[in-house]
A and B are shown apart, each in its own frame.
Chain A
């Protein structure tokens, strides 16, 4: 029990440099561990597949440079279905040029045309008014934001307030993390309306239900400041769209409600469906003249063509198919027509016959080839919808046989006449 030593540090820094070195090392190691973990977590459990060619033709112009002035009828690039490489979204976000175009062209979820009213519409489905404009994927990563249209070509490259969307100091995560939004660019107010969230801060939402994705979208997008008016580091405004349950009041709000954007039909999303690339029956689109200016295809002058047209994919063996998976096959084109560079063909619908509500016989006339900027043929459901609407316009009777397919139309006419 000797006297207790009470000496205190005198004229000394509180922390020795050696301790500082240790601390800094521990910090670096902890950061390294966090980054490694983050990276592992971001290697999405969903690996999306990319049909990619190992070599690209050298003559292919880099369309990223002048996306707007894409020549209309460039010869379509040949599809060699050879080597398929699985790429996850993380790697895909780094793709350039034609590879990127191709990959993104396949990543959007495409609604079918509503020709039949799903069961439990009111319980299991959301509805919202689709903004009129260009459907595109918006990817923010590494300090820049890129929007790509359905065919994969770049619409804009710009700074945004999305995570890692501009070269500013973003404290909210590692710089390599990326986000992907499913948007419609609405020209009149120069706004990206976000209709779905695919990846956020490096985390994939592909495998999440629509219910969760919409919840996430609505709670996260605002936090970033992306919905603020444009500024130097934020060139375009983003906005969510009001999403309703598919009950009577939801339907009427979506159908007739006033919105800051021009409507182009209604979109229906099944609440339990994951984000599925390509056509899916779990997302549906409805258009009529009350909720869309673009009910049926118009020509370049905005006129309704006097005849109903359809775009189908021309396969090597001359078969004509829709974009559905599996595709619906509509006969064969005379092989004489087949030129190597033609990929999609525009056809004139002459006559259609239904048997038991299914398209049985379709008489199509070849009109010409379609510009390469188009990445998809029409889907079966779109074809049907268009035909029915075309007939409704009283243009010309093309169909014979069953008429069950028009049930959806009756349903909506009834539903909306009540509101």
Chain B
């Protein structure tokens, strides 16, 4: 029943567009007419050594794409489709694939490997294809190297596709044995060794049990370390990748090996080719990541027994590690600062040095200072840049007490280097270092300010001057100014920046108009800095912020004036529109936060809204998100007055809620619905049918990114609170959705951290919905309608309490819902509430919470319950 597909597959790769198109249509047709036969044809094409490599590869690729897709809902469809195929069809296809692994044609083997892994990913969780691993392992002992290579590659892909819990330990052991044997120095075939090393990378996730066994672990580690010394660079690189992976997956098992690994990595960093050296540095960066996490979580005093202790590998390696990293800093590439995609050993080394500083704090300072002092004034720019970069890298981590005296000495030098150093690279790093100084050592929490009345003027002058320098330097100067402004965020009624405000804003606007503002993301940096300067401004400069409104509006207006643009120009244009909307959003939020400025600002509201509506007429998700965010701020600032825009704005609101693909836009729009609910209160009622319909559709969609669903539930609460008992007609739709989501999120046994986090955000959304609905119905004669839902709500509260994995936010919301239930239903729910676990243990736990918000919610709940049961 197989059909002849060779020619069609070849035509599908033709350079002649018409031929190609016709072939693609034929393939599509085959697939629709008879899927089984189509897939069989593809697999036999792939297996047939007499066919051309091109038709075989494409056949395999189409077969693979018939099994997997990026989109979750599409992927599930494909999985179901495969599982429902006739068994004999599937067996034939699988037989073809396994046969292909022995093909002399490398591309065919490699394609087959990937398809086999996809099928394994579908079937193994369903306990199908149990013989697969066995038959792959039997290949390992075959003589031809290319078969062993293909088999190891297949095992690698398989480990990547299949979750470790569907393969039993016996088979895991066999896979690991085969893989590690393939990596061994005794394996003469480098292709086999490389395939084995790469396979191990994926198999490491399966090796939990083996890593707890000292002997097995020792053996695996020895083989990996040997592979890092292999003459073949790709094998060395793959071996270091395994070490990087182990550093995070098996951090707690590393102690016996860390000394050897240091020697290996140090040698690689100093002597090996760049791809290998980069992995060697990454090993230490990854260790830093682990230790930073551990130390942040436990604050250094480790007590628990199931958690991972800190072994202080970085602290111990410090005296050798730091000099090694400092050496790398001198290996800069020319023009790396102009190249967005650059990543080299100097950059990796500096990044690692920054992580080391965060891991060990003060201890790094004396180890780095001599390097800085020795190099910072050298004639070779590489030395000056390396010294500056080293200084900038260690500014986060060590205590201000340790750093501020040094910074006070260095600041003048930096300012003069930024203006006078002849080298672009040095100036770039100097401006970046100034930014880091302001980010970490300047602000209201610092005891001794590094920016004083004496040097403030000079600092600002230098930064504004540097904004006229090359685009990469100007971008870093903007960044420095960003943190300079941020440091004055909580300065009080009067800011030291006030005298310079006008000048700073003017300079930033000038930067946005530079010819080369598109390079080094300079324009973006300038607008971001403008935003921060506005955010951190005080009442003193409010009139100047107001003056900025028509300026930014005019810029936005200009982008909308319809000249014909190429697609490249259009992309730049919409990026600019996004930046301008963002800037307006910040200004609206700033001016809207105090009554007098809000009042004056309102004169622009109609015009701004007009511009935003025009933005929606353009097609670009990024802009829509920005405009939507800005409209949310506008609604928040305007309150009831926003109602006049609703008629025109509504369709864009609905469009936003329908935007499944760009889920960020959908998420932001859901948030804006909340803003509008609070602004309009019951005046939103005429639009609620449409909004609720859309939200319910969103919830039932398998296409929409799951992260949007919790905010949609919260949004139910916003709507209910706004329209009160008018929510009645949505109860019959909303409540079952809430209940089933509640059941789903209540039980999280066996979930990983990510699942638990999602469950908590879902719980929070559900609880906020309940809270809003209950409060919305309060004092209404229709309160009775909610009584039937009370038992389920209480059950939900009890079960998340018993699950013991809710976070503080959920705890606060949950205990509040208990109060809302009592408050709204009163004596109707009194006895139910008294029977619930929540009203006793949970409530008491919350009442004695350290968290102020939880405690307050709990007190409210206690009060409301006491009222409900005392009636």
| A124, B16: Cα distance in complex, Å | 97
Q: Chain B: interface secondary structure?
A: helix
Chain A 1-34 per-residue mask, 1 if CB under 8 angstroms from chain B, else 0: 1011011111101001110011011101100110
Say yes or no: B629 contacts A10, CB within 8 Å.
no
Say yes or no: A1 contacts B582, CB within 8 Å.
no
Chain A 32-62 per-residue mask, 1 if CB under 8 angstroms from chain B, else 0: 1100110011010101000000000000000
Question: Considering the complex, which residues of chain B in the window 513-568 have a beta carbon less than 8 Å from any beta carbon of chain A?
Answer: 524, 527-528, 531-532
- Closest residue on chain B to residue A12 by CB atoms: B479
- Closest residue on chain B to residue A215 by CB atoms: B866
Q: For A25, what are the chain B residues with a Cβ–Cβ distance below 8 Å?
A: 585, 629, 632-633, 668, 671
A205 interface residue per 8 A CB criterion: yes
B68 interface residue per 8 A CB criterion: no
| A3, B274: Cα distance in complex, Å | 13
Q: For A416, what are the chain B residues with a Cβ–Cβ distance below 8 Å?
A: none
- Closest residue on chain B to residue A35 by CB atoms: B678
Q: Which of B258-266, B412-420, B815-823 contacts A (4 or more CB under 8 A)?
A: B815-823
Chain A 290-317 per-residue mask, 1 if CB under 8 angstroms from chain B, else 0: 0000000000000000000000000000
Say yes or no: B343 contacts A7, CB within 8 Å.
yes
Question: Considering the complex, which residues of chain A in the window 195-211 have a beta carbon less than 8 Å from any beta carbon of chain B?
Answer: 201, 203, 205, 207-209
Given contacts A13-B479, A33-B717, contact A274 B870 (CB under 8 A): yes
Say yes or no: B629 contacts A21, CB within 8 Å.
yes
Given contacts A1-B153, A6-B278, A207-B871, contact A21 B674 (CB under 8 A): no
Say yes or no: B675 contacts A32, CB within 8 Å.
yes
Chain A nearest Cβ from B112, distance in angstroms: 15
| A18, B871: Cα distance in complex, Å | 51
| A53, B448: Cα distance in complex, Å | 60
Q: For B826, what are the chain A residues with a Cβ–Cβ distance below 8 Å?
A: 45
Q: For B675, what are the chain A residues with a Cβ–Cβ distance below 8 Å?
A: 29, 32
- Closest residue on chain B to residue A38 by CB atoms: B860
| A199, B577: Cα distance in complex, Å | 51
Say yes or no: B582 contacts A17, CB within 8 Å.
yes
Given contacts A22-B668, A29-B632, contact A1 B157 (CB under 8 A): yes
Given contacts A11-B476, A37-B721, contact A203 B771 (CB under 8 A): no
Say yes or no: A37 contacts B866, CB within 8 Å.
no
Query: Contact partner of A10 among B279, B347, B852, CB < 8 A?
Result: B347
| A29, B432: Cα distance in complex, Å | 33
Query: Contact partner of A29 among B275, B674, B778, CB < 8 A?
Result: B674
Chain B nearest Cβ from A366, distance in angstroms: 45
Say yes or no: B241 contacts A4, CB within 8 Å.
yes
A216 interface residue per 8 A CB criterion: yes
Query: Contact partner of B775 among A9, A37, A203, A272, CB < 8 A?
Result: A37
B238 interface residue per 8 A CB criterion: yes
Chain A nearest Cβ from B807, distance in angstroms: 14
Q: For B275, what are the chain A residues with a Cβ–Cβ distance below 8 Å?
A: 3
Say yes or no: B768 contacts A208, CB within 8 Å.
no
B156 interface residue per 8 A CB criterion: yes
Chain B nearest Cβ from A239, distance in angstroms: 22
Chain A nearest Cβ from B116, distance in angstroms: 14
| A389, B871: Cα distance in complex, Å | 37
Say yes or no: A207 contacts B823, CB within 8 Å.
no
Chain A 157-184 per-residue mask, 1 if CB under 8 angstroms from chain B, else 0: 0000000000000011100000000000
Q: For A45, what are the chain B residues with a Cβ–Cβ distance below 8 Å?
A: 778-779, 823, 826, 867
- Closest residue on chain B to residue A219 by CB atoms: B859
Q: For B714, what are the chain A residues with a Cβ–Cβ distance below 8 Å?
A: 33
B202 interface residue per 8 A CB criterion: yes
| A43, B775: Cα distance in complex, Å | 10
A330 interface residue per 8 A CB criterion: no
Say yes or no: A208 contacts B866, CB within 8 Å.
yes
| A43, B479: Cα distance in complex, Å | 47
Say yes or no: B870 contacts A209, CB within 8 Å.
yes
Q: For B863, what are the chain A residues with a Cβ–Cβ distance below 8 Å?
A: 203, 205, 208, 212, 216
Given contacts A3-B238, A4-B241, A10-B343, contact A29 B671 (CB under 8 A): yes
| A212, B863: Cα distance in complex, Å | 8
Say yes or no: A41 contacts B238, CB within 8 Å.
no
Query: Contact partner of B351 among A3, A10, A29, A208, CB < 8 A?
Result: A10
B54 interface residue per 8 A CB criterion: no
Q: For A208, what are the chain B residues with a Cβ–Cβ distance below 8 Å?
A: 863, 866-867, 870
| A217, B342: Cα distance in complex, Å | 65
B718 interface residue per 8 A CB criterion: yes
- Closest residue on chain A to residue B472 by CB atoms: A11
Q: For B776, what are the chain A residues with a Cβ–Cβ distance below 8 Å?
A: 40
Q: For B428, what are the chain A residues with a Cβ–Cβ distance below 8 Å?
A: 11
Query: Contact partner of A3 among B241, B343, B819, B856, CB < 8 A?
Result: B241
- Closest residue on chain B to residue A24 by CB atoms: B589
Chain A nearest Cβ from B403, distance in angstroms: 19
Query: Contact partner of A40 among B199, B527, B775, CB < 8 A?
Result: B775
Q: For A171, what are the chain B residues with a Cβ–Cβ distance below 8 Å?
A: 852
Q: For B337, what are the chain A residues with a Cβ–Cβ distance below 8 Å?
A: 11
| A25, B588: Cα distance in complex, Å | 12
| A13, B717: Cα distance in complex, Å | 36
Query: Contact partner of B582 among A3, A21, A37, A43, CB < 8 A?
Result: A21
- Closest residue on chain B to residue A5 by CB atoms: B343
- Closest residue on chain A to residue B628 by CB atoms: A25
- Closest residue on chain A to residue B439 by CB atoms: A13
Given contacts A6-B278, A21-B531, contact A26 B671 (CB under 8 A): yes
Chain B 710-725 per-residue mask, 1 if CB under 8 angstroms from chain A, else 0: 0000100110010000
Query: Contact partner of B348 among A8, A11, A41, A201, CB < 8 A?
Result: A8
Chain B nearest Cβ from A246, distance in angstroms: 20
Q: For B768, what are the chain A residues with a Cβ–Cβ distance below 8 Å?
A: 33
Given contacts A40-B721, A207-B870, contact A17 B244 (CB under 8 A): no
Say yes or no: A1 contacts B202, CB within 8 Å.
yes
Q: For B823, what are the chain A residues with a Cβ–Cβ distance below 8 Å?
A: 41, 45
Say yes or no: B867 contacts A207, CB within 8 Å.
yes
Say yes or no: B775 contacts A41, CB within 8 Å.
yes
Q: For B201, what are the chain A residues with a Cβ–Cβ distance below 8 Å?
A: 1, 4
B237 interface residue per 8 A CB criterion: yes
- Closest residue on chain A to residue B245 by CB atoms: A4
Say yes or no: B860 contacts A41, CB within 8 Å.
yes
Given contacts A1-B156, A33-B718, contact A272 B870 (CB under 8 A): yes
Given contacts A4-B241, A21-B586, A37-B721, contact A32 B636 (CB under 8 A): yes
Q: For A22, what are the chain B residues with a Cβ–Cβ distance below 8 Å?
A: 629, 668
Q: Of residues A29, A45, A216, which shows the largest number of chain B Cβ atoms within 10 Å of its Cβ?
A: A29
- Closest residue on chain A to residue B722 by CB atoms: A36
| A216, B859: Cα distance in complex, Å | 9
Question: Considering the complex, which residues of chain A in the window 229-281 have a beta carbon less than 8 Å from any beta carbon of chain B?
Answer: 272, 274
Chain A nearest Cβ from B397, distance in angstroms: 14
B228 interface residue per 8 A CB criterion: no
Q: Of residues A3, A6, A43, A272, which shows the largest number of chain B Cβ atoms within 10 Å of its Cβ?
A: A6
Say yes or no: A6 contacts B244, CB within 8 Å.
yes
Q: For B429, what are the chain A residues with a Cβ–Cβ distance below 8 Å?
A: 11
Chain A nearest Cβ from B26, distance in angstroms: 32
- Closest residue on chain A to residue B110 by CB atoms: A1
Given contacts A25-B629, A36-B721, contact A17 B432 (CB under 8 A): no
Q: For B779, what are the chain A residues with a Cβ–Cβ distance below 8 Å?
A: 43, 45, 47
Say yes or no: B772 contacts A37, CB within 8 Å.
yes
B282 interface residue per 8 A CB criterion: yes
Q: For B636, what are the chain A residues with a Cβ–Cβ distance below 8 Å?
A: 28, 32
18 CB-based A-B contacts, threshold 8 Å:
A1-B157, A3-B238, A3-B275, A7-B343, A8-B351, A18-B582, A18-B626, A21-B531, A21-B629, A22-B668, A24-B589, A33-B714, A40-B721, A40-B775, A41-B860, A45-B823, A201-B856, A272-B870
Partner-B contacts on A (CB < 8 A): 1, 3-4, 6-11, 13, 16-18, 21-22, 24-26, 28-29, 32-33, 36-37, 40-41, 43, 45, 47, 171-173, 201, 203, 205, 207-209, 212, 216, 272, 274
Which 3 residue pairs across A and B have the least CB separation, nearest first?
Answer: A17-B528, A40-B775, A207-B867
Interface contacts beyond A37-B721, A45-B779, A205-B863: sample of 5 additional A-B pairs, CB < 8 Å, sorted by A? A25-B632, A32-B674, A33-B718, A45-B867, A212-B863
